[in-house]
Amino acid sequence: MAQLIIEGQELINDFSKIKQLISNFGIHLSNWPISKSAEAQQLLSKPNLDNTEKERLLTLHEHYFEKLKSKQGYQSRDITVLHPEVPDLDTLLAKFDRCHTHDDDEVRYVIDGSGFFGFVKTGGQQAMMKVEAGEYICVPAHTEHWFELGPSRRIKTIRYFTRTDGWAATYTDTQNKLCNQAFT
């Protein structure tokens, strides 16, 4: 279940309240059930997935992509799989844990594990949200944010794109004031 901390406030665990509060940052959050099929559960239990297995998981969750395509113009999707055995994991994560923006929405549907998104509101106030399996998050284009992998150091997400050229990170000088340790 999502958890949220806004700079200077207590940890919030109520999903409805979190959804309302992060909308002030421009962030959209939803709960999307994960496929309960035996095949999906078997694939999700694996630490790593080959391309065929990733494609199968995408197919098992295709109805969400079809909905995003028809209603919001999303054109493609893929799966990211992060876990402690990923070569150079810390180097990869260092690209995301600094405040940055993108020219396209950052859209993630967490299907396994958990992670932390941090956000910077106009005026500088910051928030950090833990996202877990079954949660869909949309960080609008040009929203200052960062991402940290949680203590489990594993997550599987389906990423959705309206275009792929909006994915270069534009780093800002903002220092993130919150970290995932606030949740432990």
Q: How confident is the model at residue 65 (pLDDT cuts 50, 70, 90)?
A: very high
pLDDT of residue 1: 85
pLDDT of residue 166: 62
Query: In terms of pLDDT, which residue wins out, 166 or 178?
Result: 178
Q: How confident is the model at residue 55 (pLDDT cuts 50, 70, 90)?
A: very high
Residues in a beta bridge with 127: 6, 119
Question: Mean per-residue pLDDT for 25-52?
Answer: 95
pTM attached to this predicted model: 0.94
pLDDT of residue 25: 85
CA distance 116 to 164: 23
162 contacts: CB under 8 Å, gap ≥ 6: 72, 73, 74, 75, 104, 105
Q: Cα–Cα–Cα angle for 53, 141, 157, nearest 5°?
A: 20
Structural domains of the chain ordered from first start: 3-183 (2.60.120.10)
DSSP 174: P
Question: Mean per-residue pLDDT for 101-130?
Answer: 93
Question: Mean per-residue pLDDT for 152-176?
Answer: 88
